[in-house]
Amino acid sequence: MRFEWAPAEIGPGEEEQMATDPRLIDLFLEVARFEGTSGNERAVADHVRRFLERLGMEVHEDDAAGLSGGNCGNLVARAGSGGDLVLMSHMDTARPSGQSRAIVHPDRITSDGTTVLGVDDRAGIAMLLHAAEQALRHGRGRKDFTLGFTICEETTLVGSNSIRFEPAIRGAVLLDSSLRPGNFICRSYGCQHVLVTVHGRASHSGIAPEKGISAIAVAAKAIARLPLGRIDAETTANVGIIRGGSATNVVPEEATLDAEVRSVHPARVEELVGRFRACFEEEAARAGAQLEFRAEWDFMPYTVDETSALFARVAAALSMVGLVPTPQVSAGGSDANSLNARGLPAINLGIGAQNPHGNDEFILLEDLEQGAAIALALLS
């Protein structure tokens, strides 16, 4: 059955070429159209809750809104006893998708090019809703499972940092990677954010430059000494933002910069951040400047071992739907980083949500179908 909202554009002669379950396409188009940037996920959450409650699931919203300052908490939905596995997606999009006009092509779904489609991660949500409906309404899967829907994955990960499950839950599978189905991320970089402020001394740059201490010059000398870019096969570093100074005729009093170091090895991150700190401290001391240096984990690295039960379960589900299980390493962060850091083994599945965050976001119909099939296989 089709829903009542305005249908997506379907070109002449295209409809009969689509083998994908129209119900799945409907579920995706419907959920993609809700506005729900980070902290503003209410409309998505209300829709998901109504849908799952109609299937007889017990849905609970937690108090994560108080942590995010947004309008919505995480949702945890339980079927039967809840089982021992939670399947998850995030409800926020990095950019607004409320005005998105989806176009269903013979092989894929795109936006009209003026906005994101919302495929990251509404595609994951649609796959989970479809799998839950198949399992509970059509008897094609088990009756005991848990679904989780987080807030603020695109910004602070506050949702996955605070979401709570029953003690019986032993693993999490996220449907949230842009890789194509068959791939799954079982190893990820962690990332430390480094914030540096150099305090120099202001002075007239023409009349009394000798009295000044240039914060920009100190920062520049330190940056020139930093190891940046790809440091080794599993480590990168970047200075992403720099600000400083107040006028061309003033020796700059202050300069601040934001940098990051990523690696799959926490010790490697610590070591490089230590070198960053030493470079800035030495250059500040040499010039007589003061320094504030802060570093904190944005997200921790993780590895889900191939001997683990979760790894085996994901590989089995992928095989069941005819895909070759292909473990991958990711340099980006996701809810899986926070869940693993909190002690819940979590794997991020490739669902083919391609070109995430761009106006050219798309998903192949084949991948939409396979993602939903993997979700259902994980429930069987």
Please state the closest distance from residue 321 (CB atom) to Zn ion, in A.
21
* Alpha-carbon span 303 to 266, nearest angstrom: 11
33-41, 68-76, 118-126, 201-209 -> range binding Zn ion (CB under 5 A): 118-126
Which residues, 6 or more positions from 51, have their beta carbon under 8 angstroms from its beta carbon? 129
Which of 30, 176 has the CB closer to Zn ion?
176
Which of 121, 133 has the CB closer to Zn ion?
121
Stretch 4-63 residues interacting with Zn ion (CB under 5 A) = none
CA 372 to chain centre: 19
Stretch 193-222 residues interacting with Zn ion (CB under 5 A) = none
Which of 185, 284 has the CB closer to Zn ion?
185
Q: Provide the CB-side half-sphere exposure for 150 (13 A, CA).
A: 32
Total residues in contact with Zn ion, by rule CB under 5 A: 3
* Alpha-carbon span 133 to 142, nearest angstrom: 11
Which of 191, 202 has the CB closer to Zn ion?
191
119-127, 187-195, 248-256, 371-379 -> range binding Zn ion (CB under 5 A): 119-127
Please state the closest distance from residue 252 (CB atom) to Zn ion, in A.
39
22-30, 116-124, 272-280, 370-378 -> range binding Zn ion (CB under 5 A): 116-124
Amino acid at the residue 207: I
b/e burial code for range 193-210 (CB count within 10 A of at least 16 → b): bbebbbbbbbbeeeeeee
Query: Residue 99: phi, psi to the nearest 5?
Result: -95, 5
Does position 283 bind Zn ion by CB under 5 A?
A: no
Distances (CA, A) of 245 to 35, 194, 250, 254, 283: 39, 20, 8, 6, 18
Please state the closest distance from residue 160 (CB atom) to Zn ion, in A.
11
Please state the closest distance from residue 314 (CB atom) to Zn ion, in A.
18
Where does the chain have alpha helices with state H? 22-32, 42-54, 65-68, 119-137, 158-162, 215-225, 266-287, 309-320, 335-341, 365-378
Please state the closest distance from residue 180 (CB atom) to Zn ion, in A.
15
Please state the closest distance from residue 99 (CB atom) to Zn ion, in A.
20
Q: Cβ(352)–Cβ(177) under 8 Å?
A: no
Does position 121 bind Zn ion by CB under 5 A?
A: yes
Which residues, 6 or more positions from 343, have their beta carbon under 8 angstroms from its beta carbon? none
56-64, 120-128, 162-170, 241-249 -> range binding Zn ion (CB under 5 A): 120-128
Strands 103-104 and 85-90: unpaired
113 CB-contact burial (10 Å; exposed 0-12 / middle 13-18 / buried 19+): exposed
Please state the closest distance from residue 178 (CB atom) to Zn ion, in A.
8
Binding mask 165-184 for Zn ion (x = CB under 5 A): -----------x--------
Please state the closest distance from residue 65 (CB atom) to Zn ion, in A.
20
112-120, 187-195, 288-296, 340-348 -> range binding Zn ion (CB under 5 A): 112-120
Q: Provide the CB-side half-sphere exposure for 2 (13 A, CA).
A: 5
Question: In the set 26, 30, 41, 120, which binds Zn ion (CB under 5 A)?
Answer: 120
Which of 121, 253 has the CB closer to Zn ion?
121
Please state the closest distance from residue 229 (CB atom) to Zn ion, in A.
26
Which of 36, 83 has the CB closer to Zn ion?
36
Does position 92 bind Zn ion by CB under 5 A?
A: no
Residues lying near Zn ion in the complex (CB under 5 A): 120-121, 176
